[in-house]
Amino acid sequence: MAIFSVSGFKAFVVTLFVSAGVSAQGSANISNVSARETTSLDGQWKSIVDPFENGYYDYRLNPTDGGYAQDRTYSSKTWLQEYDFETDKQLFVPGDWNTQRPQLYYYEGTVWYRKHFEYNLEAGKRLFVHFGAANYETIVWLNGKRLGSHIGGFTPFCFEITDGLKSGTNSLVVKVDNKRKPEAVPTVNADWWNYGGITRPVNLIETSETFIRDYYIQLDKNDKRTIEGWVQMDGKDAANNVTVEIPELKLKVELLPNQDGYAEFSVKAKPELWSPENPKLYSVILKSEQDMVLDEIGFRTIRTEGKKILLNDKEIFCRGVSIHEETAYDNTRAYSADHADILLKWAKEMGCNFVRLAHYPHNEEMVKAAERMGLLVWSEIPVYWTIHWDNPDTYKNAEQQLADMISRDKNRCNIIIWSIANETPLSAPRLDFLTRLIDKTRQLDDVRLVGAAMEKVEKEPGVMTVDDPLGDYLDLISFNQYVGWYDGDAEKCDRVNWVFDADKPVFISEFGGGALYGRHGAVNERFTEEYQEDLYKRQVNMLKRIPGLAGTTPWILKDFRSPRRHVPDIQDDFNRKGLISDKGQKKKAFYVMKAWYDELKEQYK
């Protein structure tokens, strides 16, 4: 057994990880929630729709905790009270409110949620309430006392409620507001549905007084025979010993945390490496005197060399597809392992070894399911289109969402690309904003690649390139292009060639066009399956001519809701660029991609 104490190994990086995920007035996030002792609060919650936010502001627009957060019951006809959770409607958690009630389909504003629960907490134990995500601004109260708030619709947050818990019935009240704001991340304009609500699971997490709050265990980026990592304890006895064990590798490391509960290690090992063809995961046991956490972790290296992406030092082609976080058939906000299983099996059926989870961090079950199935992942924050580049609070928000994303998924070996933006317009403030995010990404995690979905330009007739100074800071020439859809007809693909100055891998993060499943016509008729099929055939032939092409993620796996799409009887609030329909029907273009990916699979054996 090796014994390690604190040294300087990645101390700065770890300090950033420790601070990541802290909600305003809240607690630092707890990693790997599914491995903890949890009690689900999912199910039916009482709700109040509050477009004027009467439950939070008085008539002078002063915020107050004395409104709906107090969860008073209308128990006497002599009292004046203008709300009552007990007799109001219910909403299912997790879930979006838009698809649960027809009246809330387009609603953007505040909805209050209320859940009653009882909990017998033993002496010496601690209790946290953990939210997988809620869109977009959330304030939480327990028994009328404010716990804290969180901004961002796609990252987790938690609050300790040990001291606020009472015997008998406890009242948990949550204010969720999904109004779009110009200074927000994402901003007011986007091409996906602004689902409101508590969209991911809510759990009570019981811990010992001192527990393993967070940890990082991965391969050294430069050495496939060295596993490195750290552990962060939480509690008054945080300086007590903790062990990290990987039984299959006969590896057991005993760590002695410092007074802040932090310890790190670096140890020699010979793990079997994770890959799409062999998604090997090892059981990992972290154990302290009072706590134990189990995880399954894979080990791999990822780097670039010239125009190649190297996984475990072997060149790969990322045969991918983009995916939005919507369920397969009923097109609601996805959140579960079952939801992930259907979507990812479709990707596998198409021949994918890679998925781009656009345009925000997807739920944790999606990332874990992809890891088990051997799918590499591009994970992204919603810095999308026209952000307020000069606003310090907007940058702070984006950086926090980035830190939360990396903190939650840092142990998932299938994530190989952190993406910091999508289709953002060129300007000096934008370049400063995004390069700061790139620097922060590498401070937080220097073992993965950094990308962004840039945009192409037509350098001269028929010659395409990417002319974006952001590319100098990224590991990939990654960009979206819609030749044949927004840029000319499908035939234009036959005449286009691509040139790039940088010696980096080329990654096409979006391409494609729309079609309504079952709509047929001539190959030049838009929104027919024949047009989409022909466009994909021409796109594939064009992509084959791109020097250094290392990956593609066509847009998109399935049709998804978007309020920007208004053509009656064709779009009906759906972006129809899916290779699969909103009802799960495969379009003709799906099989074009499958044929090409089968060809590439043989080529890169």
Whether the pLDDT of residue 14 is over 90: the answer is no
What pLDDT is recorded for position 360?
A: 98
DSSP annotation string for 59-127: TT--B-SSSGGG------TTS--S--GGGS-EEEESS-STTT-GGGSS--SEEEEEEEEE--PPTTEEE
Whether the pLDDT of residue 11 is over 50: the answer is no
pLDDT band at 567 (very low <50, low <70, confident <90, very high): very high
How far lies 484's CA from each of 243, 323, 524, in Å? 57, 21, 10
Tokens of 518: 């079952």
pLDDT band at 13 (very low <50, low <70, confident <90, very high): very low
Q: Which helix (H) or strand (E) holds 373?
A: helix 364-373
Please write the tens of the pLDDT for every residue from 463-519: 999 999 999 999 999 999 999 999 999 999 999 999 999 999 999 999 999 999 999
What pLDDT is recorded for position 81?
A: 86
**Mean pLDDT value across residues 366-390:** 98
Whether the pLDDT of residue 5 is over 70: the answer is no
Whether the pLDDT of residue 19 is over 70: the answer is no
Whether the pLDDT of residue 220 is over 70: the answer is yes
The region of weakest confidence among 78-82, 439-443, 593-597 is: 78-82
Give the DSSP letter of residue 271: P
Q: At what angle do helices 428-444 and 11-19 cross, to 10 degrees?
A: 110
Which residues touch 459 (CB under 8 Å, ≥6 apart)?
465, 467, 499
Cα–Cα dist 423/246, whole Å: 42
Which residues touch 221 (CB under 8 Å, ≥6 apart)?
301, 303, 446, 447
Cα–Cα dist 433/395, whole Å: 7
Q: Which helix (H) or strand (E) holds 232?
A: strand 223-234
Please write the tens of the pLDDT for every residue from 288-341: 999 999 999 999 999 999 999 999 999 999 999 999 999 999 999 999 999 999
How far lies 575's CA from each of 36, 74, 375, 566, in Å? 39, 45, 25, 9
Cis preceding-peptide flag for 359 (omega within 30 of 0): yes
What pLDDT is recorded for position 281?
A: 98
3-state secondary structure of 16: helix
User: Among 117, 127, 104, 99, which residue's Cα sits nearest to residue 45?
Assistant: 117
Tokens of 116: 């009653």
Mean pLDDT for the chain overall: 94
What pLDDT is recorded for position 74?
A: 81
Cα–Cα dist 226/229, whole Å: 10
Q: Of all residues in the chain, what percent carry a pLDDT higher than 70?
A: 96
Cα–Cα dist 438/336, whole Å: 30
Please write the tens of the pLDDT for every residue from 248-272: 999 999 999 999 999 999 999 999 9
3-state secondary structure of 154: coil
Strand order of the β-sheet with 125-131 is: 37-40, 202-208, 125-131, 157-160
What pLDDT is recorded for position 77?
A: 80
Cα–Cα dist 140/357, whole Å: 28
**Mean pLDDT value across residues 575-579:** 98
User: Among 361, 255, 278, 275, which residue's Cα sits nearest to residue 318?
Assistant: 275
pLDDT band at 17 (very low <50, low <70, confident <90, very high): very low
Give the largest CA-CA distance in the chain: 79
Whether the pLDDT of residue 76 is over 90: the answer is no
Cα–Cα dist 231/266, whole Å: 12
User: Among 156, 158, 161, which residue's Cα sits nearest to residue 200?
Assistant: 156
Whether the pLDDT of residue 138 is over 60: the answer is yes
pLDDT band at 18 (very low <50, low <70, confident <90, very high): very low
Please write the tens of the pLDDT for every residue from 438-471: 999 999 999 999 999 999 999 999 999 999 999 9
Whether the pLDDT of residue 7 is over 60: the answer is no
What pLDDT is recorded for position 145?
A: 97
How far lies 256's CA from each of 3, 265, 436, in Å? 7, 10, 34
How far lies 535's CA from each of 211, 318, 493, 588, 591, in Å? 55, 21, 8, 11, 13
Q: At what angle do helices 392-409 and 364-373 cross, to 10 degrees?
A: 40
Please write the tens of the pLDDT for every residue from 23-75: 445 668 999 999 999 999 999 999 999 999 999 999 999 999 999 999 998 87
Strand bridging mode 497-498 / 463-465 = parallel
Q: Residue 210 is which amino acid?
A: T
Please write the tens of the pLDDT for every residue from 155-212: 999 999 999 999 999 999 999 999 999 999 999 999 999 999 999 999 999 999 999 9
Q: What are phi and psi of 70, to 5 degrees?
A: -80, -15
Do 105 and 98 meet the contact criterion of CB atoms below 8 Å apart? yes
Tokens of 273: 């490496």
DSSP annotation string for 489-550: -GGGGGG-EE--SS-S-EEEEE----B-TT----TTSTBSHHHHHHHHHHHHHHHTTSTTEE
What pLDDT is recorded for position 80?
A: 85
Cα–Cα dist 58/67, whole Å: 8
